[in-house]
Amino acid sequence: MNRIHNFNPGPAALPLEVLQTIKEEMLDFKGTGMSILEISHRSKQFEEVLNTAIERLKRLLGIKEGFHVVFVQGGATLQFAMVPLNLSLPHRTVSYIDTGTWSTKAIKEAKILGKDVVVVASSQDKEYTYIPKDFTVDSSTSYLHFTSNNTIRGTQWKEFPNPNGVPLVSDMSSDFLSRPFDVSPFGLIYAGAQKNLGPAGCAVVLIREDMLSRSPKDLPTLLRYPVYTENNSLYNTPPCFVIYTIGLVLKWLEETIGGLQNMERINEEKAKILYEVIDRSGFYRGTAQKDSRSLMNITFRLSSEELEKRFLDEAQKNGFGGLKGHRSVGGCRASVYNAVSLESVRSLASFMEEFERVNG
């Protein structure tokens, strides 16, 4: 088996034991004589897959009641529109914090829908290299939206914003379940599956019960959150294979890793290894301000684009994939999501040190 060290930003690495389980069950899922790709979404077998995934997710986050978990196709990008469509209140503003590309896209969608958008804070003035700290939120606004981790710029909220009593809404696509947190201030959380949860194909949405009454009844059916909560994500055929894989990843998080506190400790160790290589070197330069650095996406530059290309080419030859920075900013990026092992991170750190020795 010739597997590389996978640092892709998404679709991203999956736990090896999850992939092995998928392989073992692919032709005969739980004695059905069918693949998970073939069984009915109305069957008892798939209902168990779906409900077990929901129960595991709630256990991992310590949710006892008051929140629904649903699976919505269209990824996080569809949520950029579904959130303002469902959660904006009549004659009220919607508030956003702009920390980079994905929050900018969310703001754009709300404006397309004609919502009264207030950007309460932005880090655009310094090329999105930091998380804003000083801002105020109008207590009458419909919600406060922020992106918890910024994959392109390599920044992350260490402490979530104070919403001044209004519901928080967060795009957690790239750091969901990477650490424990209190869900109670959130009206809604969404996360595209393809980074920390599973393969591409849907977003996981956690929505608080009281938010559902905001949803206008004249929206198209599949754009209304209550349709998903009332039908347990089964109004139409859901992304069955994605949900099945998410369930396996949640099982791995719960039973193999031992929960989110352990996952956070491992993620902190992985990020520390790479940031230490960057910080003790004059050869690599981190792009995010130190107090805003992401534990998921370590972004860095070398002294020239030519040297960066050489670094990326040599990395690929040595079995390190996915290190090219986002096309909008260039540079290099190591995405060290939950499933990326400490072994892979240590190997990358050693490669970076050797590349510096030879080329520095």
Residues carrying an active site annotation:
102, 171, 195
Give the C-alpha separation, 172 to 15, whole Å.
Answer: 20
The structure tokens listed for 329 are: 């900013």
Tell me the CB-side half-sphere exposure of residue 44, using CA atoms within 13 A.
Answer: 3
Q: Cα separations (Å) of 103 from 99, 128, 150, 197?
A: 6, 11, 9, 20
Contact 185, 208 (CB under 8 A): no
The structure tokens listed for 189 are: 């959380």
Give the C-alpha separation, 248 to 252, whole Å.
Answer: 6
The structure tokens listed for 167 are: 């519901």
Tell me the CB-side half-sphere exposure of residue 115, using CA atoms within 13 A.
Answer: 30
* Rg (the chain; Cα; Å): 21
